[in-house]
Homo-oligomer: A and B are copies of this chain.
Amino acid sequence: MPHASSDDERPTPVAAPAAPPRRHVVVIGCGFGGLQCAKALRGTSVDVTVVDARDYHLFTPLLYQVASCLLNPSEIAAPIRKIFRGAPNVRYRQDEVVALDTDTQRVSLASGTVLEYDTCVVATGSVTTYYGIAAVEEHALGLKDLREALQLRNHVLERFEDASTADDAAARLRLLTFCIVGGGPTGVEYAGALAEFVRLVVPAEYPELSAGDVRIVLLEGGEWVLPTFAPKLSTYTERELTRMGVDVRTRTLVTAADADGVVLHDGTELPTATMVWTAGVRPNTPPGVPTDERAGRRMEVDDHFLVVGTTGTYAIGDAATGRGRHGEVLPMVSPVAMQAGRFVAGEILHGRGRRFRYRDKGTLATIGRTKAVGQVGRFTFTGFVGWVVWLGVHLWYLIGFENRLRVLMRWAWYYVRLDRPVRIVIRAGDRRR
């Protein structure tokens, strides 16, 4: 057995017949890429160890709905052990990778354990980047994992409480100004969801406030919101968000921030108590691996996702520079990671054979309660049709039948009752020991 640590194994029967040694595949990270890879290896002839500090796979496209009081955390998080229930060849290990040595083929974990591998799949994804602006990092709220989504939910609810007892108009305006930096899908979807939260909840439940006191400002550095979408979809989105009361400002960069607010590139000061940062991610590569400077420090891989210079280490998803059929670096989006995960599982099981061909299935973003934009190849959707497509796709890709059912019911409830059910401030501290 190639496992370095035998303590997670049941004792082997003494008289076991000599079986050919099973290859040990370590999958680092159980996001979209790692999950698809490990699922494709389930029930096969290799032993799989999935390493992730979080004990769940997170459906990140719906994080903004947790942040905006619509979904519960558990509805978009599937326990990893539950996903691999009944798979005798897949083990889960809650740990963090502190070093990856592709020469000796060892993964060092924070707990001190060292895993030896025959094959490793690095699927560590990406984390928020603040482009080195320390003041922004200090004052920004992220929206990239469950902890951040809950922090944001708590923070926004508490700003409404603070505003409801604020002494003067300027303080109240600052507390009720919500600044969202980054006009990609996350920024657009959160801005739309927050605008609906304000419209549905504030008039009914905050008699001290008026919905007109609330300002939602969406800042995008480029020419358009949703810059990766077709121009007409960007225009549509901008118009719909504006109609919903969102102050959309394109060609606007944040250059500084402090406790009072943010400063824009033209020197404008925007007093705000809330800066949500969705303006960029960087690859989250394990310590000790070489990365590609020209491709945003993602790990350089060949066209079979093998890390350059190695024979048993793959890297997929946001952490690696996977390339399309014309040599273009593929975007840091979940379909790329999922397809690469399944492709690499095939490579591991059947050897180098096929060529990876990325199938662009299109992109979608929801704007409001019954509005979304989407494009699949040359086709674009807007409005209600886009929203129905968005709904179907998101339910389809959500892991777990129960989650699908529950999220669908919650959406149905919300669309009929116009309610935001999960608006409570909860804090779950760390364990005591």
A residues contacting B by CB (< 8 A) are 5, 7-10, 54-56, 72-75, 77, 79, 81-82, 84-86, 88, 91, 93-95, 111, 113, 138-141, 146-147, 150-151, 154-155, 157-158, 161, 164-167, 204-208, 259, 273, 402, 413, 417, 419, 421-433
Residues of B close to A413: CB separation below 8 A: 402
- Beyond A95-B165, A154-B428, A428-B428, list 17 extra A-B contacts (CB 8 Å): A55-B157, A55-B423, A55-B424, A85-B204, A86-B204, A94-B158, A138-B432, A139-B432, A140-B432, A147-B426, A147-B428, A155-B431, A259-B433, A402-B413, A402-B421, A426-B428, A427-B428
Residues of B close to A259: CB separation below 8 A: 433
State A402–B93 Cα separation when bound (angstroms): 37
* Set B72, B165, B402, B419: member contacting A111, Cβ < 8 A: B165
State A10–B212 Cα separation when bound (angstroms): 14
Complex: chain B residue closest to A95, CB-CB: B165
Known: A8-B208, A86-B204. A150 touches B93 (CB 8 A): no
Residues of B close to A147: CB separation below 8 A: 426-429
From residue A270, how far is it (CB to closest CB) to chain B in Å? 16
Complex: chain B residue closest to A138, CB-CB: B432
State A164–B8 Cα separation when bound (angstroms): 6
A and B contact pairs by CB, cutoff 8 A, 9 listed: A8-B164, A55-B424, A73-B424, A79-B423, A79-B424, A111-B165, A113-B165, A141-B432, A151-B429
State A91–B413 Cα separation when bound (angstroms): 27
Is the beta-carbon distance between B74 and A422 smaller than 8 angstroms? Answer: yes
State A432–B207 Cα separation when bound (angstroms): 27
Is the beta-carbon distance between B421 and A74 smaller than 8 angstroms? Answer: yes
State A428–B155 Cα separation when bound (angstroms): 11
Is the beta-carbon distance between A431 and B204 smaller than 8 angstroms? Answer: no
Residues of B close to A150: CB separation below 8 A: 426, 428
Known: A55-B157, A157-B55, A429-B147. A206 touches B81 (CB 8 A): yes
Residues of B close to A141: CB separation below 8 A: 432
* Set B73, B155, B166: member contacting A7, Cβ < 8 A: B166
* Set B9, B157, B421, B430: member contacting A427, Cβ < 8 A: B430
Residues of B close to A7: CB separation below 8 A: 165-167
From residue A94, how far is it (CB to closest CB) to chain B in Å? 4
State A422–B75 Cα separation when bound (angstroms): 8
Complex: chain B residue closest to A72, CB-CB: B72
Residues of B close to A158: CB separation below 8 A: 94, 431
Complex: chain B residue closest to A81, CB-CB: B205
Known: A74-B422, A425-B54. A208 touches B151 (CB 8 A): no
